[in-house]
Amino acid sequence: MPPDRDIERDKAETRWLILDRNRPPYTGGVNWLGHGTQGGRDAAIDYLLLDGATMDQLLRERGTEASVRSHFQSLKTLHDLPVTRGQDGKYRFDRKHLVLPDAPDGSSLVRGSATPEEETGTPFDQIWKELQVGLVRQPRCPEHPEFPCVHTLSEGVRNDVLAVGEDGVRLRSHRSENERLIPVRCLRTWWTHLVRHGKASLVPGAPGNPDRQNSKVVGAIWVRCLPNRVRSVGPDRIVLAPVRPLDDPLPEEVTESAGLVEGAVRTVMVNAYERSPVARRRCVAHYGPVCVVCGFDFAAVYGPLAAGYTHVHHLKPLSEVGAAYEIDPVADLRPVCPNCHAVIHLGGGCRSIEEVRRLLGSTGKPR
């Protein structure tokens, strides 16, 4: 092991690989931890530990359990990457140590299982879409007016946004003229950290800093491009902001504090389902914040400030709602824009999604 091994970088790259759903399989050679120079057995074990492996699977790479556990000890000592055994009997890199959330069943997080969207109600894919919109809407500098520009928080260093694509964000610093790629997996690591802790340091190597390589510019990307989700607290710290668009009561809807008359109880009960922050988050996490009637997307029209905003509509007729009714946010709710929501309930009724689509189509207006 080289004496100048960057342990924090090893840990950051391990986080990225755990969360990267498009990670290619190990095919030989030296891996991200510098293993694989002597036949690739240690490197192969490292890859197995990203998703979890039984001892039998690990023994295929190293013949004895003592040898496997010796490698575990090396990972902990030389890379600060302890290995734990989950409830499913599989060995993995310790997710808590890497500041990654646990899966709902108590075992360590694996690819494709619950991630921060369980807590925020917003899938990272949606966050990434919002970031892309925010990046291309950034102001442009006089020196390079053809590119949007992101300013770092503390030093004000300007960075041209050269490209935003599937692989991430390509930037060019005005100060050094150097280009760099901020991969999507890096942004996912930051989002995971923010959701779990509510804050992050922008000081490389400091406690609470998830990635020492790109801290300043990534912090600026979050704050500049998603101001409704992430805010700065001084020049070197960012915090997760409350997601107001999905939680605020809708101004035109009845609230529990409003005066009630006999016969209105059921109307208010269904209205409460539509206003429930938990139900609303789960509905939007499943369908996205785009109106299922007309396709309207607040973020596409108004930018990052309105990203994620939508109404949700309760599908069940009042006659089917009883005292023991329990709402299913995916089966019973749909995201709709305020205009379509108003038409659904126009005149005090409750039109179906299909009926309002037909009304919209009959005017000849594009959907």
263-311 tens-digit pLDDT: 344 444 445 555 566 677 778 877 888 899 998 988 888 876 777 788 8
pLDDT in tens, 98-141: 766 544 333 333 333 334 444 444 678 888 888 988 898 899 88
Ranking 32-36, 62-66, 254-258 by mean pLDDT, the lowest is 254-258
pLDDT at 101: 52
Q: Is the pLDDT of residue 254 over 60?
A: no
Q: What is the mean pLDDT of residues 138-148?
A: 89
User: Rounded to whole angstroms, what are the CA distances from 86 to 65, 91, 115, 213, 344?
Assistant: 17, 6, 17, 31, 49
The pLDDT confidence band at residue 85, using thresholds 50, 70 and 90, is: very high
Higher pLDDT, 275 or 333: 333
Domain boundaries, given as residue ranges, for the chain: 7-113, 124-240, 247-362
Of the candidates 128, 117, 94, the one whose C-alpha atom is nearest the C-alpha of residue 18 is 94
Place of tokens 């050094």: 176
Structure tokens at 162: 């050269």
pLDDT at 355: 92
pLDDT at 181: 94
Higher pLDDT, 161 or 199: 161
pLDDT at 299: 80
Higher pLDDT, 156 or 112: 156
Q: Which long-range contacts (CB under 8 A, 24 or more apart) does 134-139 make?
A: 134/224, 134/225, 134/226, 134/303, 134/304, 134/307, 135/161, 135/164, 135/169, 135/221, 135/225, 136/161, 136/164, 137/225, 137/303, 137/304, 138/224, 138/225
Q: Percent of the chain having pLDDT more than 70?
A: 75
pLDDT in tens, 218-241: 999 999 998 878 888 777 888 876
Q: Are 218 and 209 in contact (CB under 8 A)?
A: no
pLDDT at 93: 93
Q: Percent of the chain having pLDDT more than 90?
A: 23
